[in-house]
Structure 1
Amino acid sequence: MVINGQKYNVNELNYTIRSATIDDGKELSDLRVEIDGETENLDREKWEGYIDIIGFQKIIETDSKNLRNLFLVAEVKDKIVGFSRCEGIYLNRFSHKVEFGVCILKEYWGYGIGKNLLKESINWADSTGIKKITLNVLETNEKAINLYKSFGFEIEGILKKDKRLGDGNYYNTIIMGRFHDL
């Protein structure tokens, strides 16, 4: 689905959150590789699960047409610095929910970009009749966990020793969900 763009000014940084377009494919492909190399909070290491320009264009095209998908980008001075995605499940028994994921360039952490991508996604989900948003978060990402809790997400479960990070240790993944009118 496509939503109208929203402008934000946080800590003197102006940015826009808008739906992704086909023209964003190359920038998103490059950005995802860069972000994956900046943090261990995400599932992938740099270059793992690479999505090329055409791959991103197909995802954007699909998400723009499907009422249960939403692909948003955060843009600063015509440069995409982060993105989020809600992906719906099309089996009838799961059609009430979507899965949320987000990533932002480390340089732009602290400007409320993740918070506002989440807020826009929740507004969209609530207005389209989606009853549940789910997400996974690394147990050490306390800032994200607290943000999600502030938006009504609850811890639903823990995948124990789910990820092995660069230090060689295993860490838990926390499964969170937010319910709307259930």
Structure 2
Amino acid sequence: MRITPKKYHEHYHIRSATENDAKTLSEVRLQIDGETEHLDREQGEAYISELGFKQIIKDDTEHMNHLFLVAEVNEKIVGFARCEGSSLKRTAHKVEFGVCVLKKYWGYGIGKNLLKESIRWADAHDMKKMTLSVLETNQTAIKLYEKYGFEVEGILKKDKRLSDGNYYHTILMARFHG
């Protein structure tokens, strides 16, 4: 599925990903994975190549319950978000949301606006439930998700081991529509 591009301030805009973005997305994802422990992967793990991203973008464009958005600053991709739905009838009413932004661009509302556009799309397409997972240490993200109607559904205890050697919980959150 695609959205109409939207400009935020004069600094950046959000649009649907195209297959031409695949190489850059592969590079940006690899960089982001090395900048934060808030995500599931360490840098280089579960690497997605340009070809892999082309297939993801193609699939997300063709499926009505998938969305792949990118945020650009001066025509450079600095972050992205995905909503991935299921083809199974029993779970076709929900999508899973994920987002990441280059650390250099944190604090500009990019993640928030990727979330808002994803929510707008999900509501417009009558998705009854959006889910996400967030590490307990990412309090900024948790507060943002709560502000936009997400609630805690569960906790995966001692789910992630970070570089300090300690184990942390993953918070499962959901937002309901309709």
The TM-score, its normalising length taken from structure 2, stands at: 0.99
* Corresponding residue for residue 138 of structure 2: 141
Deviation at 1:89, TM superposition (A): 1.2
* Corresponding residue for residue 4 of structure 1: 4
Deviation at 1:90, TM superposition (A): 1.3
Q: 1:150 aligned to 138, 147, 150, which one?
A: 147
* Corresponding residue for residue 68 of structure 2: 71
List structure 1 runs of 4+ shifted beyond 3 angstroms: none
- 2:12 is aligned with 1:15: yes
* Corresponding residue for residue 126 of structure 1: 123
Q: 2:83 aligned to 66, 81, 86, which one?
A: 86
Alignment of structure 1 residues 161-176 onto 2, 5 Å: 161-176=158-173
* Corresponding residue for residue 112 of structure 1: 109
The TM-score, its normalising length taken from structure 1, stands at: 0.97
RMSD of aligned C-alpha atoms?
0.6
Report the count of equivalent residues: 178
* Corresponding residue for residue 44 of structure 1: 41
Deviation at 1:92, TM superposition (A): 0.8
Deviation at 1:130, TM superposition (A): 0.5
Q: Which runs of 5+ in 2 are unaligned?
A: none
Q: Which amino acid aligns with 1:124?
A: W
* Corresponding residue for residue 57 of structure 1: 54
SS of residue matched to 2:40? coil
Deviation at 1:136, TM superposition (A): 0.1
Q: Which amino acid aligns with 2:89?
A: N
Deviation at 1:108, TM superposition (A): 0.2
Deviation at 1:129, TM superposition (A): 0.9
- Between the aligned residues of both structures, percent identity stands at 65
Alignment of structure 1 residues 22-41 onto 2, 5 Å: 22-41=19-38
SS of residue matched to 1:51? coil
